[in-house]
Amino acid sequence: MIDLTKLVEDFENTKAALVAKRVDPASIDELRDLVLLRRKLTTEKQEKQTALNQKSKEVGAKYKEGKKAEGDALKAEVAGIKDALASVEAEYDEVEKKLDYIHLTTANVPLPDTPRGESADDNKLIKTHGYNEADYAGRTFTPHWEIAENLGLLDMERGAKISGSMFALYRGRGAKLLRALVQFALKLNDGKYEEIMPPHFVRTDTFTGTGHLPKMADDAYAIERDGLWAIPTAEVALTGLYGGEILDASTLPKCMMGYTVCFRREAGAAGSETRGLQRLHEFHKVELVKICLPEQSESEHEKMLADCERSIELLELPYRVIDLCTGDLGFHAARTRDIEVYAPGTKKWLEVSSVGIFTDYQSRRLNIRYRKKEGGTAFVHFLNGSGLATPRVFAAILEHNLQEDGSVVVPKVLREFYGADVIEPL
């Protein structure tokens, strides 16, 4: 949630920043008006309550003194105050309900350095690594779904049979390669990040706290009977971990990584760009999450980006880093860099990691604070990024490492986990 005090105090700037993120200007105005109205009603409510509290004390005093008649007279007075209080409260509750809803559905404010822009077309290319256009000219590349089928790594038909489309079924050497990727990513970040295996289902309040509800409800799998949601990323579980707690500043930054399955409904995404492993309802991912002090978040972001790049680099895949513009930024992010891997068979840059700063947007919702040296508490900052999202990386490896004879070379760093150097043709 955004800081409402700041919204009111620094209205024009905050509004401009939110509008750049394509938030409806009218709803920002409405939010501000509601905050001011709530303040006014708070004052009124408190005045009534003060009067009531005082009278109640007097009633008690009269009875104690044995002046029953006077006490009874006061009680009648109190009744009038109570009616007035009730009507103010009714109005207040209505205002608060509206306010809360808009507040929960208002996106995070982007950081000042975020490039301005309307859409993905305005994103800024920061760097390209290991990619030469000439390398691909005049050559034909096979899409990963064909390679995987030829080698028997995937069984998409049977996957669809048991679960529907956009569910992958890895088998044999494919399953092994997938597992190798996960082990590689975990080992690579071991020591820097604490490995956590969280539950894959979270409560509604956790899911609201990370910013996924109420806005992203349609994209998540819900287990209504038990009031649980299937996590779309380990971020949800790891970010919710310290909900309601006050952390010791000396323990920050707290770095965690979680290997989980990620569940996404991908509502409305069916059909386009879903061939093979490009877009799935269920995939395996190693996610990195950091909790840090506000002044640490930008430098920790750089480090995390480097950590995420490192796994792609070690897998020897060409990639580029994109600074997302305000218009393309995710709902709860304040700044995001995407890592995209080039997949020559799919002929596309595939997003494999999204490394973001979420400032205090999530900690405010989850009420996660740290104790300040000078006294008092403040909200921590959250960062997260994909240490390794398996399906697209898996796809890119196949497309890059396919040999003339139909075999696929296993990247050097995966061999100790995969147990062989090459995936031979059947």
Among 2, 17, 34, 55, the residue binding RNA under the rule CB under 7 A is 55
Cis peptide before 344, with omega less than 30 degrees from 0?
Answer: no
Candidates 56, 105, 183, 204: give the one binding RNA (CB under 7 A): 56
Q: Residue 39, interface with RNA (CB under 7 A)?
A: yes
- What is the enclosing helix (H) or strand (E) of 333? none
Select from 50, 119, 163, 299 the one that contacts RNA (CB under 7 A).
50
Report how many helices (DSSP H) and strands (DSSP E) the chain contains, helices first. 13, 16
What pairs with residue 259 in β-bridges? 286
| Residue 105: other Cβ atoms inside 10 A | 16
Question: Is residue 53 part of the contact set for RNA (CB under 7 A)?
Answer: yes
Q: Which is nearer to RNA, 27 or 54 (CB)?
A: 54
Q: Which of these segments, 48-56, 134-142, 181-189, 350-358, binds RNA (CB under 7 A)?
A: 48-56
> Is residue 67 a contact point for RNA (CB under 7 A)?
no
* Nearest residue to 182 via CA among 340, 402, 386, 356: 386
Is 237:228 a contact under the CB 8 Å cutoff?
no
- Decide if residue 165 touches RNA (CB under 7 A): no
Told to judge if 264 belongs to the known catalytic residues of this protein, a careful annotator would answer: yes
Instruction: Find out whether 352 and 341 touch, Cβ atoms under 8 Å.
Output: yes
87 near RNA, rule: CB under 7 A: no
Residue 379 sits at φ, ψ, to 5 deg, of -75, 140
| CA neighbor of 283 nearest in space, from 210, 362, 367, 386 | 386
If one asks whether residue 376 binds RNA (CB under 7 A), the answer comes out as: yes
Q: Which is nearer to RNA, 192 or 372 (CB)?
A: 372
Q: Counting contacts by CB under 7 A, is residue 68 touching RNA?
A: no
Please select the residue that binds RNA; options are 22, 57, 67, 187, rule is CB under 7 A.
Answer: 57
User: What's the longest Cα–Cα distance across the chain?
Assistant: 104
Q: Binders of RNA: how many residues, by CB under 7 A?
A: 27
235 carries an active-site annotation:
no
Closest to 202 in 3D by CA, of 77, 366, 89, 59: 366
Q: How far is CA 149 from CA 135, 155, 164, 174, in A?
A: 25, 7, 18, 10
3 state DSSP class of 116 = coil
The single-letter code of the amino acid at 41 is L
Q: Which of 348, 377, 406, 417 binds RNA (CB under 7 A)?
A: 377
49 near RNA (CB under 7 A) = yes
Of 42, 142, 150, 407, the one binding RNA (CB under 7 A) is 42
Select 25 or 60, whichever has its Cβ closest to RNA: 60
Interface residue with RNA, options 37, 63, 274, 330 (CB under 7 A): 63
Least distance between RNA and beta carbon 80 (Å) = 11
- Among 297, 354, 363, 386, the active-site one is 354
Length of the chain: 426
> Active-site residue 354, yes or no?
yes
Interaction between residue 5 and RNA (CB under 7 A): yes
The answer to whether the beta carbons of residues 282 and 406 sit under 8 Å apart is: no
Which residues of this protein are in contact with RNA, per CB under 7 A? 5, 39-40, 42-43, 45-47, 49-50, 52-57, 59-60, 63, 75, 78-79, 82, 246, 375-377
Active-site amino acid positions: 264, 279, 351, 354, 392
